[in-house]
Homo-oligomer: A and B are copies of this chain.
């Protein structure tokens, strides 16, 4: 990052105890720190690491009093954790976002319009009639199809592929290898048992502040729009099928699949490796446990688990007994014998 301890303290509105001229190149935890790193101590239970760290400087609370002598410079701030997170964000701004300009070669289609602060990495492909907002960073080898629109401050990482007519909002982050707008799974059976492709002519729209994970795939709508609303966070290797709608501030963990035309509400939390069938509606504020399979529409505020998904508490109670099924079986056989013994004229 190439900042002195003094410059970091200034960014964080903190005070330096030690030499403010030491140059800091990286950020790390107390344990992993190298001699040119800055680290932080927020949780008192890690205090011992402070006395062994190699960090050049450590961000600590304004009232922190070391119990032993330390070799590192201290930067005193009101809230060490928040300050450290702010410093990380600054670090990202300085590294990821510092690039501007258009590298060569790139492909620029006709009618390309963009604003200030654009970075366009080498081997990026911009189709025709593309409009890009302010301060957008498009990394190398990205593909943007014809008639796409990309909002301000959005970052698209290397090799992500955006199909034609996709609309992406502001402040989105799209990780490497993500595919947005692919032609989804739509086939009509023919009398001979083969399948006829159904043309997929819709598009995808992402709202603002949407994050899409690496190698995640989002299919375009068959007709109309596959819609991901503001603030949605989608992890790696997730599959979003055609015509799905995901409501605001919903989070979806890795390797989950949402089938065609499912509507997911707002503020939903979906764990990893979950699947849903198509055409259902998952209500606002639903929580779906990892690896569940949701087969029916849900009511608000449910917590689901299992395949097919049921109430989480019930699932785990049943699973506790599932583990004991062999004992249960033995118990039933014993009861059968006892009843036989009680029954008059039964063979003893």
Would you call A121 an interface residue if the criterion is a C-beta within 8 Å of the partner chain's C-beta atoms? yes
Which of A92, A179, A329 gathers the greatest number of chain B CB atoms within 10 Å? A179
- Complex contact B277–A290 (CB within 8 A): yes
Would you call A255 an interface residue if the criterion is a C-beta within 8 Å of the partner chain's C-beta atoms? yes
- Complex contact A308–B318 (CB within 8 A): no
By beta carbon, the residue of chain B nearest A181 is B176
- Complex contact A326–B331 (CB within 8 A): no
- Complex contact A177–B215 (CB within 8 A): yes
Would you call A314 an interface residue if the criterion is a C-beta within 8 Å of the partner chain's C-beta atoms? yes
Instruction: Report B-chain residues with C-beta under 8 Å of the C-beta of A251.
Output: 185, 187, 195
What is the size category of the interface that chain A forms with chain B?
35 or more
* Given A213-B182, A236-B217, A251-B195, A323-B318 contact (CB < 8 Å): yes
- Complex contact A317–B321 (CB within 8 A): no
Copies in the complex: 3
- Complex contact A193–B249 (CB within 8 A): yes
Would you call A50 an interface residue if the criterion is a C-beta within 8 Å of the partner chain's C-beta atoms? no
Stretch from A14-22, A65-73, A155-163 that touches the partner: A155-163
Would you call A319 an interface residue if the criterion is a C-beta within 8 Å of the partner chain's C-beta atoms? yes
- Complex contact B199–A217 (CB within 8 A): no
Instruction: Report B-chain residues with C-beta under 8 Å of the C-beta of A335.
Output: 332, 335-336, 339
* Given A175-B183, A182-B213, A185-B233, A199-B255 contact (CB < 8 Å): no
Instruction: Report B-chain residues with C-beta under 8 Å of the C-beta of A211.
Output: 187, 197
CB distance from A166 to the nearest CB of B (A): 12
The distance in angstroms between the C-alpha atoms of A322 and B223, with both chains bound, is: 40
CB distance from A227 to the nearest CB of B (A): 10
Would you call A328 an interface residue if the criterion is a C-beta within 8 Å of the partner chain's C-beta atoms? yes
The distance in angstroms between the C-alpha atoms of A143 and B198, with both chains bound, is: 27
Would you call A88 an interface residue if the criterion is a C-beta within 8 Å of the partner chain's C-beta atoms? yes
Which residues 178-200 in A have Cβ within 8 Å of B in the complex?
179, 182-185, 187, 193-195, 197-199
- Complex contact B164–A157 (CB within 8 A): no
Would you call A224 an interface residue if the criterion is a C-beta within 8 Å of the partner chain's C-beta atoms? yes
Instruction: Report B-chain residues with C-beta under 8 Å of the C-beta of A209.
Output: 194
Contact of A141 among B28, B125, B272 (CB under 8 A): B125
Would you call A51 an interface residue if the criterion is a C-beta within 8 Å of the partner chain's C-beta atoms? no
Return 7 A-B CB contacts under 8 Å, by A number. Answer: A89-B199, A143-B159, A185-B235, A217-B236, A239-B254, A255-B255, A321-B329
